[in-house]
Structures are given as C-alpha cells and as structure tokens.
Chain A
C-alpha cells in the first residue's frame, strides 16, 4: 500500500461517508456539511493520485483543479446556507418535507 493509494482510499471513504449522511440526515445544515465532506473526499482522491509521479514533483494540473474546486465549494456553500435560511424563514423548519404533496 503506497502513500498515494492510502490517501486516495481515505478520499473514497470520505466521499461515501458524506453521501450516506446526505441521504440519512434530514436537517439541511447537516446536508450542507455532508456535501462539503464529499467534496473534500473528491479533492483528496485527485491530489493523492497526482502524486504518483515517483521522485519528481507531483502533477500540477489536478492541484490547480482542486484549488478551483475549493473556491467553488465555498461559494456554493454560502449560497446553500442562504437558501436554507430562507426555507426556515418560510416554513419554520430546517428540513424539507418528506413528500411532495405536503
């Protein structure tokens, strides 16, 4: 097990944990946290696999993609949080209704 594979597998684990929490938790703030954990998992896989270059410096292209991704993730999080606050303001609860008919 190389370092790169170890961290890539941790990334897969983080993605799966986040996806599970996204399905299971009803609270919208927790769903936003879960999506953030998922994105961290994806970034970890990308950067870990970028390091399979042997003794030379890692591949910079995935690094650049992850930096872009981190900024996109924070702006999406800010927007999601504001949407959540508006939903709470309208409905009084930080959860989405279970059925569409409600």
Chain B
C-alpha cells in the first residue's frame, strides 16, 4: 500500500487538493480514506493524460486529414474536448464560451465556408492549375520541422522553468471584488477592472464584420430547403436559446456566464434561423439591424466619455452604481455580439443580399 501511495502521489503531486488538505492531520487519516484519495489522484492523472493526448491527437488528425470536411468535423470535436479541458482547469466561464463559439459557431462558419467554396469553385471558369514548381517547393517544407522542434523545446523549457506556485493577480481581484458591483471575478475583470479590453474587443468584432461586408458579395449559391426535422428543431431551439442567453446575461453577475456567452448563444440562435431558411426582411435589414449592431460599441463609448468628462478614470464606475451599469453595458454588448456573429455567418451585407 505504501508503495502504491508513493507512486500515486508522485504521479499526481500537486494535483490533489483534497490530498493536501489531508496532510496536516495525517495521523487521523485512516487507511481506507488514504486509499480513496490515492485512487482519486490516480483517476485524475489518467483523465488528464488521456485528455492531453486526445487534444494533441485530434489536432494532428484535423490538420493532417486529406479531406477538408473531415478536417472540419475533427476540429469541432477538438473544440468540444477543449471545453472539457476548461472545466477540468476550473474555468467554467471559458468552457461555456468555447462550447458556444469555439466548437459551435466556428464549426458552423467553417462548414458554411466549405459549402460556399465548392459553389465558388464551380462558378469560376478558371481551372485550378498546379505548377510543377509546387512539388520542388514542397521538399523545402521538411526544414521547418526541425526548426519548429527547437521552438517547441524552447517554449516547453520556459513553461517548465516557471515557479510552481503563483497567485498572479487573484489577490488584487479578490480584494476589490466588493467594489466591482458583481460577484463573479471573471465578469468583474472583463467589465470593470479591464473594461477597456472589452471595449476594444467589441470594436474588433465590429471591424471584422465591416471587413466581411466590404469584400462584396459572392455568387449566389443554392441553399437546400430545410427538412422537417431541422424545421421542428429550430422552432423548439430558437426560443430556448434566446431564453438561455437571457439567463447567461443575468447569471454572469454572480456565477459562470456573462455578455460573451449570452451573445454567442444569441448568435447561435441566429445561425439556426438562417439554416432553416430565414433571411433578414427588407425593413429589418436597414435601420434596426444597424442600430442593434451599434448598441454595444455605442454604449461603451458613451460610458467611457461620460467617465472621462466627470473626471474619473476611463470606464471607472462608482461602487454603488457599478452593478447596474455593468448590467446595462452587458445587455448592449450581448445584442451586438449576437447579431454580429449571426451577420458574420450570413457573410454579406443584408442590403446586398436584399437586392437580388
């Protein structure tokens, strides 16, 4: 038993929070409880190793697969395993964002792009030609492998040379959490302590949409009419997703959730509606559409200007009003993020699409 215990603790040293708590009053720990902890450590270690290997395997298979559709499906599976990893690493907020965005929306975007790719390729008359130079150039690609191994070794060395214990900024965040207006430290960092990050990020999202719109429209491609299963699913799921988005928005103040998760869920509802054949109507596509897109960025800018004019720091809120201000900002951001993500999936300016 002793030997087994030593192995288990060596394998999982540091992973067992419960095991550590057991240490000080070790004399009290009877053999069965000890064994339980060992078994738990071992299970965790096996879980971690399998997850890590699974991530690397899925990434490799996605990047190495010969068919594009297979690569995309494997990438979506990779995103789901990433979400599981976030939960394991006590990052539930990120797990929610990853499931909705990393696995869900990115997968939908990639699959839609693949469908359009085949449509565009058949529409363009120019035949895809492959120059003989390509093959000679491909041999050169062996070189980066050796170089990249060096890069990987360097990165691994720098990760391993970091101290095993570091509180980072968690002490500062914990000390000021009461003044932030929300109970969830991640939301407090996103919307209060580092509000300007979120401000700039909303603008990155907006810029990406402007970029997509400025690229003009693609040749129209036929969309298969939705089958009865998809139609029924959308009728049930779309209202549920909107409700879920509202829940995430509200829950973000004190638990996992927040504007990004809510916005991504709204965006997913938009994508589902589009898959079922819904298109923005002519009335909606002009002013209301643009107003909602601008709600998040405009609210953020207004708040930032207001705080500057009243002599505070940029996006600094008075503690007694911080809660309601954050909720207001998050609501605007949720609508904007949701609509922007749905519009990114749509791919072209709604007015352009309307012209046809």
Q: Using a CB–CB distance below 8 Å, which chain A residues touch chain B?
A: 1-10, 12-21, 23-27, 29-30, 32-34, 36-37, 40, 43-45, 47-68, 70-79, 81-86, 88-89, 91-94, 98-99, 102
Asked if B170 and A68 make an inter-chain contact with CB atoms under 8 angstroms apart, the answer reads no
Question: How many residues of chain B have a CB within 8 Å of chain A?
Answer: 110
Contacts of A54 in B (CB 8 A): 165, 167
Contact between chains at B114 and A29 (CB < 8 Å): yes
Q: A33-B63, A64-B194, A72-B201 are in contact. Are A44 and B85 (CB under 8 A)?
A: yes
Cα–Cα distance between A70 and B98 once the two chains are bound (Å): 7
> B208: which of A36, A79, A91 is its contact (CB, 8 Å)?
A79
Stretch at the interface among B49-57, B230-238, B300-308, B316-324: B49-57
Query: Are A12 and B152 also in contact (CB < 8 A) when A37-B62, A44-B85 are?
Result: yes
Chain A interface, DSSP helix/strand/loop, else mixed:
helix
**Residue on B nearest A11 in the bound complex, by CB:** B159
Q: B2 at interface (Cβ–Cβ under 8 A)?
A: no
Given A14-B56, A68-B201, A86-B215, A60–B170 Cβ distance below 8 Å?
Answer: yes
Residues of B within 8 A of A18 (CB): 59, 63
* Nearest neighbor of B209 in chain A, beta-carbon distance: A75
User: Is A23 a contact of B91 with CB atoms below 8 Å?
Assistant: no
Asked whether A23 lies within 8 Å of B141 as measured between CB atoms, the reply is yes
Set of chain A residues within 8 Å of B55, measured between Cβ atoms? 10, 14, 44
Quick one: which of B21, B121, B145 contacts A20, CB cutoff 8 A?
A: B145
Least Cβ–Cβ distance between A100 and chain B, in angstroms:
13
From B25-33, B104-112, B239-247, B279-287, give the one contacting chain A.
B104-112
Q: Would B14 and A63 count as touching, CB distance under 8 A?
A: no
B17 touching A55 by the CB < 8 A rule? yes
Residues of A within 8 A of B248 (CB): none
Known: A40-B102, A64-B194. A7 touches B59 (CB 8 A): no
